[in-house]
Structure 1
Amino acid sequence: MSAFKRYGLALLIGVTASLPANGNAQSMPPEQIKQILDVTKASWVSFRDWNGQQLIYFTHLESWKCGIDYVFYGLNDGPLDQMWELDECDPSNPNAVLKDKPYIELPMGSTQSISVQLIYPDGTKSPVERFEYTGQ
């Protein structure tokens, strides 16, 4: 296991250990959510082929929506000119994903990559992360 993975795993374990006993993250400081999102950035979005369409899921980001103000994305190395609208944060159930469709639907084979950038409540921005479609 690489040092980064060990550090990331230790950070994630440490953050989740600091959650209240009932698992409710309502009082999690925004800085901890930023750290979780940084460690889990490989999971921000995922591709899926389904019924002749290409789906790009934002489920992971929806589950951490209480620590994100905006999600901007661009397809196929284009500009970050589209915004994923997160559900409103419910402090009593902060990690719930209640959206009927936590994904975008695109024609099969139309998207080779998606780039994503997060804007946090303190106004800071994440680095732009690029995710490649690898086929299903």
Structure 2
Amino acid sequence: MRPSLLRLSLLAAFLSAAASSYAQDQSEDEFAPKLPERSIYEAMLEANKPSGWVQFRNFAGGQYLYFTMLQVMRCRLSEVRYSINSTALDQRFPLGPCDPQQPFNVPDDPDNRYVYLKLKAGEAVTVTVQAVWDDGAGSEIITYRPCDNVGESACARIKAIDRPEVKPDAPKPASQSR
């Protein structure tokens, strides 16, 4: 397993065990799952910023952009805005359905819609990304570039960080998912 995915898996396992909270249902024997607080997700986003909210990989003659880390956070996100080779944030990456019983698992994805984009080799020089929380507040805007000599491992390096002083308006429904 790649180091960044291992770190992400360990963090998700820890948070699932430590932060999962349950709301008591009508019967004392039944408990309904409740999503962890947003602060847990914010800490995850911050912790994964240096290694990449998205990651680049060269594989099988193409370039892949992985959105795995953001999918792990999908239960508290309303959308993921991104742009390739610009800072326009003019595209939306689809988020898988949230399962409150497994809020940090990567969604089942037999059609590979939720984990990565496949591009032409070398197509993405940079990717700018912003996570939008379930209340419409936007995260920092981070521009990533591939690691030097990225090869077949998945990685990213921060090129720029934009910390907007004013939170963006609530997002409009995305018409373009990929």
Aligned positions of 1:45-64 closer than 5 A: 45-64=54-73
Equivalent residue of 1:94, what SS?
A: coil
Query: What is the CA distance between 1:127 and its match in structure 2?
Result: 0.9
| Higher normalized helix content (fraction of residues) | 1
TM-score of the superposed pair, with normalisation by structure 1: 0.78
Range with greater deviation from structure 2 (95-104 or 110-119):
95-104
- Bigger-Rg structure (1/2): 2
Query: What is the CA distance between 1:26 and its match in structure 2?
Result: 4.3
Aligned positions of 1:1-136 closer than 5 A: 16=15, 18-20=18-20, 26-42=34-50, 43-97=52-106, 98-100=108-110, 101=112, 102-134=115-147, 135-136=150-151
Q: Is the 8 A contact 1:26 1:94 kept in 2?
A: no
Unaligned 5+ segments in structure 1 are: 1-11
Query: What is the CA distance between 1:78 and its match in structure 2?
Result: 4.3
Unaligned 5+ segments in structure 2 are: 1-10, 22-32, 152-178
Counterpart CA distance in 1 for 2:125 and 2:38 is 32
Query: What is the CA distance between 1:18 and its match in structure 2?
Result: 3.8
Equivalent residue of 2:139, what SS?
A: coil
* Amino acid in the other structure paired with 2:60: N
Identity of aligned residues (%): 29
TM-score of the superposed pair, with normalisation by structure 2: 0.61
Counterpart CA distance in 2 for 1:62 and 1:32 is 15
